[in-house]
């Protein structure tokens, strides 16, 4: 990976014939492109390299923070693509995705412009504290945990844990109460204009935004700059990915061990047998090779497990 994946939006529309009309891939990270426990992504490296060569933007769409993504985008070779952080509360735009007049930020050393459609995290934290006291709820917010507590919950190193705790538009929490009171929290947050969604390790509270809305915003931005709509593929493994998977033309539900239902009422859904980055590669192989006609390029593609497309 050379860090130039999807390098300039023009490449995504004027690239090889395989990418006509253009394709955008929106992907969850933890439990999808990254292994849930080890955070390894190497089983997906073959497809990431190929997508880079074919000028297909791979857009991280995650509960991770902007601080976490800045380093991870370099590691994955995705520094030229947009990103969606904090479950849709933060959207990052590289130069090729920016409007020439409205988005340029001369103060940004890397040319990145960040949009924050959600509410400020300090407001969210204050509301959560008020709601917890008023309704006698039991939960712990990430913002009130120690570094060591978050490290234990996530398995991250010290530096990565600090990055995970640098929130801008959402607050993760650990729920320690019953289902009835969880329903009460859902309803109270809704009345306050806030949204609660379940991730792999935490519940996340944010403004009235989600991954699907953020993906649709990026598709609209692409269309505004280029004059036509791209096809879209979404991949995810958890309940907080459902809005994303519902918003994309083609969807991949990656197998997971969380035991939560993943209902999708749409025709173009593929459910993998493999977990994590192996499942990610399985899902990409299904849609790009079997449905869109891409040729097999490396051996693992020929050995991907068979499955049926559809919401089964």
Model pTM score: 0.86
308 pLDDT more than 80: no
pLDDT tens for 9-23 read 544 433 334 445 699
Per-residue confidence (pLDDT) for residue 19, from 0 to 100: 43
pLDDT tens for 138-150 read 999 999 999 999 9
Q: Tell me what percent of the residues of the chain surpass a pLDDT of 70.
A: 86
Contact between residue 268 and residue 235 where contact means Cβ atoms under 8 Å apart:
no
**Topology of domain 121-207, CATH:** 3.30.980
Per-residue confidence (pLDDT) for residue 1, from 0 to 100: 52
Overall average pLDDT of the 196-219 stretch: 94
Q: Choose between 295 and 129: higher pLDDT.
A: 129
Give the model's confidence band at 201: pLDDT under 50 very low, under 70 low, under 90 confident, else very high: confident
Per-residue confidence (pLDDT) for residue 299, from 0 to 100: 45
For the question of residue 28 being annotated catalytic, the response is yes
**Topology of domain 9-117+210-302, CATH:** Rossmann fold (3.40.50)
Give the model's confidence band at 58: pLDDT under 50 very low, under 70 low, under 90 confident, else very high: very high
Rounded CA separation 186/53 (Å): 44
**Which residue in 201, 203, 276 sits closest to 237, CA to CA?**
276
Contact between residue 269 and residue 311 where contact means Cβ atoms under 8 Å apart:
yes
| Active-site position among 7, 11, 28, 30 | 28
Q: What are the sequence ranges of the domains in the chain?
A: 9-117+210-302, 121-207
Per-residue confidence (pLDDT) for residue 303, from 0 to 100: 43
pLDDT tens for 230-266 read 999 999 999 999 999 999 999 999 999 888 899 998 9
Rounded CA separation 102/151 (Å): 39
Give the model's confidence band at 311: pLDDT under 50 very low, under 70 low, under 90 confident, else very high: very low
The dihedral built from the CA positions of residue 170, 202, 68 and 129, taken in this order, carries a sign that is: positive
Please give the mean pLDDT across all residues of the chain: 88
Query: 9-13, 105-109, 277-281: which range is least confident on average?
Result: 9-13
194 pLDDT more than 70: yes
Per the DSSP assignment, residues forming a β-bridge with 231 are 23
Q: Give me the DSSP letters along the chain.
A: --S-TT-SHHHHHHS-GGGSS-EEEEE-TBTTTB-TTT---GGGHHHHHHHHHTT--EEEB-SS-HHHHHHHHHHHT-TTS-EEEGGGTEEEE-GGGS-TTTT--TT-TT--EEE--S--HHHHHHHHHHHHHHHT--EEEGGGS-HHHHHHHH---HHHHHHHT--SSEEEEEE-S-HHHHHHHHHHHHHTTEEEEE-SS-EEEEES--HHHHHHHHHHHHHHHHSSPPEEEEEE-SGGGHHHHHHSSEEEEEE-SS-------SS-EEEEEEEHHHHHHHHHHIIIIIIT-PPP-SHHHHTPPP--BS--
42 pLDDT more than 80: yes
The dihedral built from the CA positions of residue 266, 270, 275 and 281, taken in this order, carries a sign that is: negative
pLDDT tens for 159-192 read 999 999 999 999 999 999 999 999 999 999 999 9
Q: Choose between 301 and 115: higher pLDDT.
A: 115
């Amino acid at each position: 990976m050379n860090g130039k994946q999807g390098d300039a939006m023009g490449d995504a529309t004027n690239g090889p014939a395989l990418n006509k009309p253009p394709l955008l891939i929106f992907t969850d990270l933890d439990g999808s492109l990254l292994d849930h426990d080890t955070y390894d992504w190497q089983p997906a490296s073959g497809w990431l390299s190929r997508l880079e060569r074919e000028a297909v933007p791979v857009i991280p769409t995650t509960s991770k923070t902007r601080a976490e993504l800045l380093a991870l985008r370099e590691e994955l070779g995705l520094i030229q693509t947009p990103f969606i952080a904090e479950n849709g509360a933060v959207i990052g735009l590289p130069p090729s995705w920016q409007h020439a007049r409205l988005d340029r930020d001369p103060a940004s050393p890397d040319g990145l412009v960040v949009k924050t459609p959600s509410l400020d995290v300090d407001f969210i934290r204050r509301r959560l504290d008020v709601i917890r006291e008023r309704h006698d709820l039991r939960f712990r917010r990430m913002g009130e945990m120690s570094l060591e507590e978050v490290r234990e919950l996530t398995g991250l190193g010290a530096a990565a844990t600090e990055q995970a705790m640098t929130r801008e538009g959402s607050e993760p929490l650990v729920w320690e109460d019953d289902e009835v009171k969880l329903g009460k929290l859902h309803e109270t947050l809704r009345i306050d204009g806030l949204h609660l969604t379940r991730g792999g390790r935490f519940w996340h509270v944010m403004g009235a935004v989600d991954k699907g809305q953020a993906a649709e915003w990026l598709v609209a931005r692409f269309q505004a700059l280029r004059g036509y709509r791209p096809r879209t593929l979404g991949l995810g493994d958890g309940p907080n990915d459902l809005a994303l998977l519902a918003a994309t033309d083609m969807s991949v539900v990656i197998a997971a061990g969380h035991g939560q239902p993943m209902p999708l009422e749409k025709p173009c859904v593929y459910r993998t047998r493999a977990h994590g980055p192996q499942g990610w590669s399985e899902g990409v192989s299904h849609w790009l090779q079997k449905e869109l006609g891409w040729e097999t390029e490396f051996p693992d593609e020929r050995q991907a497990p068979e499955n049926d497309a559809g919401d089964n």
